[in-house]
Structures are given as C-alpha cells and as structure tokens.
Chain A
Amino acid sequence: MVEQVRKLLEKRVESVAELEKLRQSILDKKDSSRICISVCGGTACRASGAEAVVEAFVDEIERRELQVQVEMKETGCHGFCERGPLVVIEPKKIFYQQVKPEDVAEIIAETVMGDRVVERLLYVDPASGEKITYESDVPFYKRQTRTIFGANGEIDPTNIEDYIASGGYSALSKVLTGMKPQEVVDEIKKSGLRGRGGGGFPTGRKWQSCLDAKADIKYTICNADEGDPGAYQDRSLLEGNPHSVLEGMIIGAFTIGSHQGYIYVRNEYPLAVEHARIAIEQAMDYGLLGENILGSGFDLKVTINKGGGAFVCGESSALMASLEGKIGEPKAKYVHMSEKGLWDSPSLLNNVKTWANVPLIINKGADWFSKIGTTGSKGTMIFSLVGNINNTGLVEVPMGITLREMIFDIGGGIPNGKKFKAVQTGGPSGGCIPEQFLDTPVDFDELTKLGSMMGSGGMIVMDEDTCMVDVAKYFVEFLKGESCGKCTPCREGINRMSEILSRITQGKGKREDLDTLEDLAGILSAGALCALGQTAANPVMSTLRYFRDEYLAHIEQKKCPAGVCRELIRYSIDPDKCEGCLRCLRACPTGAITGEKREPHILNQGLCIKCGACYDVCKFNAVIRQ
C-alpha cells in the first residue's frame, strides 16, 4: 500500500514546469530511429482480426528476441477501415494492409530485420494499378488534412505518456498559467469554431454564456452519444486519442469554472468507453485531473456515463435528462442549457470533435485555425465516407472541399462500375444530394442550402441500385422508432409520413400523398419541440426535391426503378443465360426454383418471396429483376 502511494506520488505532476520536465524525459528515452510496428486497434480493424495480428507480432518479436530493437504499439483508428487490419512500420512509415497473422513472420524477417518491403501486402492504387509503399502516398490519405485525427495512428491511446510526448496537455498548461477565462473564450470565438455535433452553433458563444452564467455549480459535458447511423468519427476519436478530448474538456471546465465533467458515451461503443476510462484514470494519476491540477488550485472530476441506446439523447437537453437518471425527453429550446442545464445548473456541452479542437486552437492560435476552411465554417471536419464507395473510412479534410473531391479523389469512386446516384449527409436529420451538386463546397451553410446538413459528419454514398423512396422510408422508420413521443407533431407526424411512404413503396401511393408529405414536413419543422422532429422531414423533402420522378414512378407506373421495393419487382430466370448450375436452386429458401443440372431453371412466381438470394448467387447474370 505504502509502495503504491509512493509510486502514485512519483507519477504526479505538480506544476507546469514538472510537466515539461516529464515530457522531455519521455522524449529523451525515445529513439526516433528505432523501429516501431504500429497496428491499428480501432473497432473496425479489430473486427477484421487485428488482435490476432498483434499477438502474432508479440510472439514473433519474443521468439527472435527483438524486444530491445523493436517497439510494438496498438494505436487508435487510422481511418482506412476498408483495408484493415492495417500495419505501419516506423520510422519509414511503410504501410501494409489486410495483414493476417500468417504474414507476420515475413514482415519481421523482411521489413524489420532486412529493410525490404513485402510487396504483396502493399496497397494497390486502383486508379493507376501502382503499388504504394508509404502511408502518406496512399491517395486516401494524401488529400487529407489530419489536424485532430492525425495523432490517432501514432499514439497508444492507453498510454498517457505517448500523448504527452506528442505535446499533449501543453495547451492546458498555457491556459492554467497565463490565460484568463475571458481570454480563452475570446480565442475560441476568434477561431470561428462551430459545434461539430450537428447544429453548428458557434462554440465561443456557448462558452461565453456559460462563463457569464452566475452559479456555484456548473457542469462540463462531452457528448459522445454518436447516434447518426453511418457516422463513427466520435467513436474513433475517443478510442484513438481520448486525452485530446479530455484536455479540451479540462480547458473548458477551467474557463467556465466547472468542477464536474461527464462523458456521455454510447453503450454500443465498448472500446471507446474503456479507453476513456483508462484516460481518466491516468490523467488522475498524473495530476492532470482531480484536485489542484498542475498545482493551479483548479479541481475537476470527470465521470463516464453510458447511454441507454436512444438516438434522441444526442440532443443536449435529452442527454442531460438521461444523465439525471430520467428518460431522455428534450426540453423546449427557450431554456438554454448553457444557463439552466444539468440539474438546472449552467452546463457546457460540446461534441467529441469540438472538444478535441480546443487544445489545437489554444496551442496554435485562433489565427492558424481560422485560416483553414471557408468564411462561415472554419477548421477541418472528420467525415465518415461509407456506403457504396471504394475507399470506405474516416477522412479529415478542410471545410470547403467539394463533394466530388471527397467521393471520387479520396473515396476512389463507386465500386463495381456502378453510377453515383446521391450522397446522404447529416444522418436522419440530413438529406440526399444528387449528382448535379457534386461540386458544392462542403461546409455548414452550403449543405443547409441544399436541404441537407453537416450533422455529425456522416456521408453515405449511394449508387444507382439504391431506391430513394426506400431511403426516405428508412430514415422515417428510424425516426419513428427514436421519437421520444413527448410532442405531438413529431410523434404523430412521423408516423403518418411512415404510413404514406410504406404505401408508396408498396405501389399503393396516390399523387396527393406527395402534397400531404409536404404539409406534414411544414408542420414538423414549425411545431416539433427539438431538432429530431424539426429536421425529421429533411430526408423526405430532399429526395422529393431531387428525385421526384422516382416517387412518381412508384405511384403512377407502380415501378421501382432501382429494383429495391419488393412489392414492385419480380424475379425471373433468363433461359438463354441460365447454365443450369443449381446455385440459385440451392439458395432459394422457399423452393420456388426448379430444374435439372445443365438445364435452364424455372422460377415459380407463386412461391417466390422476392428475397433476392438467387440474384445474389447467379454467376451468369441469368436472374432478371424487373
């Protein structure tokens, strides 16, 4: 026990000067020429088998007794999730993708001991067919500006010393030793930072009202209840660089005079919860959290709260209700959370990415930050580029980049030679943007003008096989399930929309339905209590605006042009193309397909449930979907 206390005291950093000393001593121990194998340990790479790869490396390093020469590191998400598990060999940053445990011995023998590249594990640029050796040359990374996401691939998120070595907690030192609260707020205001969680509210203004609010108790909250389907950058950041978020929160808490912080994180993100927990513990041990932080006299406690799986809890007042142990129902917006939030105290709530931007702005200055981006939207944004796209993953780009650059240059375009149809941004509150607007610069205001929004940064790319009515129905169904039911426009309005859209996709729609949808949209945006309801019609309105002909095809011709809506399609087998391979016959769950080997098969429409299993397995394009 005494020994433990002594160790803790040894670790504890009592002042800014001691933090610098610690940083220097960590850096002195580091040998920049030493080989370091970093394996991406984000959720996606883990799902692809990264943990087995890490084990294989550890075993192989031990077997060859290379522990001294070679460092092994499991880092946060590198972003290129499609290609995982990812391995980067430092210092040269040789980039291997889709690495399996059986590749490990060869990597050690060739690259680590022999300074040679294992060609077959390199990324091949689909555009040029060239093999790419270094991470920074991969087109997916090359066009990014990774200011808040870059460190993810370099530091071990479970080791605070890695973060400190990379300059971590120096922004906190700067604030604690030389800046008055108002100066911090002014710097944030000047930077032009806007909330990264969805609304895009100016962060500085929020901080100002929290600072101005007179109260003995104030709270600081990190919103990591990332509910937008198709967005996972908050998870990756909290998993991969939790201290950057924590440092932002400590600065925020000091600025407004708050001594209790909360991280509200989705329960579906177990690794993010774990890494945030470790980060808080280590920060406590090092005296960067808790009492008398860095000897400044400032105290702060941070607690993790796991969400209960309700999308509406991403809304600030619903989140705070949930923190109080109540059901997550939002409050009316005339109550400002910055004045009367958690337990009616002023509460400063920001998104994970917003918090992570704070230390950067303090360190590099508001001027540096505001040089990146567009007039109304400063800095970078992390997007999750997913759906029907070649390079799926997380990308950090300056605000103002065009959708085309994002989807075609970074994302590598649409797979399987299919045509681009739309990109959905902003989650269930956002909209679908068609091809003619691909050259639009991406920022808060431009996306809103197109009837969509920035949201949390999800970008779901859809190809020609996607039915836009079905997409609208998907989001409305999603929101129907997630509406908390407190206010009538949202509870009833979304239900009616869902009924109408279901009718249309079943071929039972009427022309007047489109007018009713528009009416309901107006009621929702004017009458709903919170943003969930106010924006609920966006997916419907944007698809109606840009893909009206698809709605009309469903209503008038009773056809689904994309071949998605089940009631409107039929499958058949082209006897000229069918080779009689029995594949579809075996795949059919209802026995609707009959036939002999090497004879064209026959599909019995009466038994067909239109599941599409035959269509998926046919190698000869003989299954026709109409």
Chain B
Amino acid sequence: MDLTLDFPKVKAIVESSTEKVDSLIDSYAGNKEQLISLLQDIQAEFNYLPQDVLVKVSQKLDIPLSQVFSVVTFFRAFTLQPRGRHLVTVCLGTACHVKGGSRLVEKIERDYGIKPGGTTEDMRFSLETVNCLGCCALGPVVVVDGKYESKMNPDKLDRVLRSYK
C-alpha cells in the first residue's frame, strides 16, 4: 500500500531524503525492532525527522505510519521540527537544578526569545533541556554542539553563546 496517498499533508512536503538516507533505510529493511536505532541515525543526518522520510521508514520496515509517529512523539530524543545551526542543551538534573540550572534556561528564554524545544527565527540556536548528562560534579552543565561547558552561570553562558554565530 502506498501510504503517501492516505496522508495528503506529506505529499506537499519537500522531498528531503537523499541517497544516503535511502540506503540507510534499506539497510534496516524488514527489521521492525530496529525502528528506534534507524530513527536515531536519520535524525543524526538531518538534525530532525522529515515527514517524507518517516513515510519511507514506515513502508520499508512495514510498520504502520501511525506507529512510527507514536514512537517519534513518545521519545524525547526525536523532533519533527528542523533544528537551528547550534544545539544548546541545558542540563536540569537534580544536581544542576540545586545549583541553578533553571536560571540558565530563563536566561536563554529572555535573551533569545525561545523556550525549550524552540529554535530562534534566524536558525542560530535551538534550545533543549535534558534530565541529566551525568556530569553532576561540573554542574550546572550546558552542552553546545556536543561541547560540554561546566560550572556555568548566566554571565558565563552569555559569553559562550556569543561565540556561536
């Protein structure tokens, strides 16, 4: 069955899949249980999960599209929205919380006008929060594009973020 026919919204979306992603999906073909791993690989490629790619995933792995979407929206790691050039992740684990982690989120909310899960209009930053990165000794921790910034305060965070264009 061609799922795109039943899902008119998807048709309107720009074709974002590439050969690389196609072959990636092919390599998982028939492996229903590998759905989450495949979605992680796709997200690593695009920074988010484009809808047309999800339709392909559904077809190749023979999983109903509704189930693919239920998994995508259940797990925190997945996003259906394109992310900005730089991903800022603020840790809000208990240790970071008692050391003032939430004030860092507020600082970004104030300065850049985005809430957790949001992206600035100029696509410069996306803001995410995480429940614990396991670097509790260095809290509050902020990760920018995979680089750990330890013992942060609003002032230091400001300086760090300014260096990302």
Q: Name A's B-contacting residues (CB within 8 A).
A: 43-44, 46-48, 81-82, 84, 226-232, 235-236, 267-269, 305-311, 322-328, 384, 386-388, 392-393, 424, 427, 458, 460, 462, 466, 471, 474-475, 478, 482, 484, 587, 589, 611-613, 616-617
Contacts and interface: CB of A to CB of B under 8 A. Distances in A.
A325 B36 contact: yes
B153 interface: yes
16 contacts: A81-B138, A82-B137, A232-B135, A267-B77, A268-B132, A307-B36, A307-B77, A308-B39, A308-B40, A308-B75, A310-B75, A324-B32, A327-B70, A387-B94, A387-B136, A616-B153
A474 B99 CA distance: 13
Contacts of A82: 137-138
Contacts of A305: 36-37
Interface in B118-154: 130-139, 141, 148-150, 153-154
Given A226-B134, A589-B110, A611-B106, A327 B93 contact: no
B154 A474 contact: no
Contacts of B106: 611
Contacts of B77: 267, 307-309
B71 interface: yes
Nearest to B70: A327
B107 to A, nearest CB: 8
Contacts, number: 148
Contact of A328 (B37, B39, B74, B94): B74
B118 to A, nearest CB: 16
Interface core residue of B78, B97, B153 (most chain A CB under 10 Å): B97
B133 A392 contact: no
A320 to B, nearest CB: 11
Given A47-B141, A308-B77, A328-B75, A587 B95 contact: no
B25 interface: no
A325 B30 CA distance: 12
Given A268-B130, A308-B74, A612-B103, A617 B155 contact: yes
B148 A392 contact: no
A464 to B, nearest CB: 12
B71 A326 contact: yes
Contacts of B63: 325
- For A84, A230, A482, the residue with the greatest tally of chain B CB atoms inside 10 Å of its CB is A230
Given A310-B76, A325-B34, A612-B103, A230 B93 contact: yes
Residue of B37, B76, B132, B153 most packed against chain A (CB within 10 A): B132
> Which 4 residue pairs are nearest across A and B when measured between Cβ atoms?
A308-B75, A232-B134, A81-B137, A47-B148
A152 B85 CA distance: 36
Contacts of A268: 130, 132-134
Given A230-B95, A310-B75, A325 B33 contact: yes
Contacts of A307: 36, 75, 77
A616 B153 CA distance: 9
Q: Counting chain A CB atoms within 10 Å of each CB, which of B36, B111, B141 scores highest?
A: B36
Contact of B154 (A236, A458, A613): A613
A251 B76 CA distance: 34
Q: Which of B70, B78, B93, B131 has the most CB of A within 10 A?
A: B131
Nearest to A463: B98
B64 to A, nearest CB: 12
B161 to A, nearest CB: 14
Given A305-B37, A327-B71, A474 B135 contact: no
B35 interface: yes
B75 A229 contact: no
A458 B94 contact: yes
Contact of B137 (A326, A327, A393): A393
Could you say which of B135, B139, B153 has the most chain A C-beta atoms within 10 Å of its C-beta?
B135
Contact of A306 (B33, B40, B141): B40
A227 B76 CA distance: 12
Contact of B95 (A43, A324, A386, A616): A386
A47 B138 contact: yes
B95 A47 contact: no
A162 B26 CA distance: 38
B35 A325 contact: yes
B139 A306 contact: no
B138 A230 contact: no
A115 to B, nearest CB: 31
Contacts of B37: 305-306
Residue among A231, A269, A466, A587 with most chain B CB within 10 A: A231
Nearest to B96: A229
A427 B71 CA distance: 25
Contact of A232 (B70, B132, B155): B132
Contact of B132 (A81, A229, A393, A589): A229
Given A47-B150, A386-B137, A424 B94 contact: yes
Contact of B74 (A81, A327, A589): A327
B97 to A, nearest CB: 5
A32 to B, nearest CB: 32
Instruction: Tell which of A47, A228, A236, A327 has the most Cβ of chain B within 10 Å.
Output: A47
A322 B36 contact: yes
Given A81-B137, A231-B132, A587 B155 contact: yes
B143 to A, nearest CB: 9
A43 B135 contact: yes
A384 B70 CA distance: 34
B75 A309 contact: yes
Contacts of A310: 74-76
Contacts of B94: 229-230, 386-387, 424, 427, 458, 460, 474-475
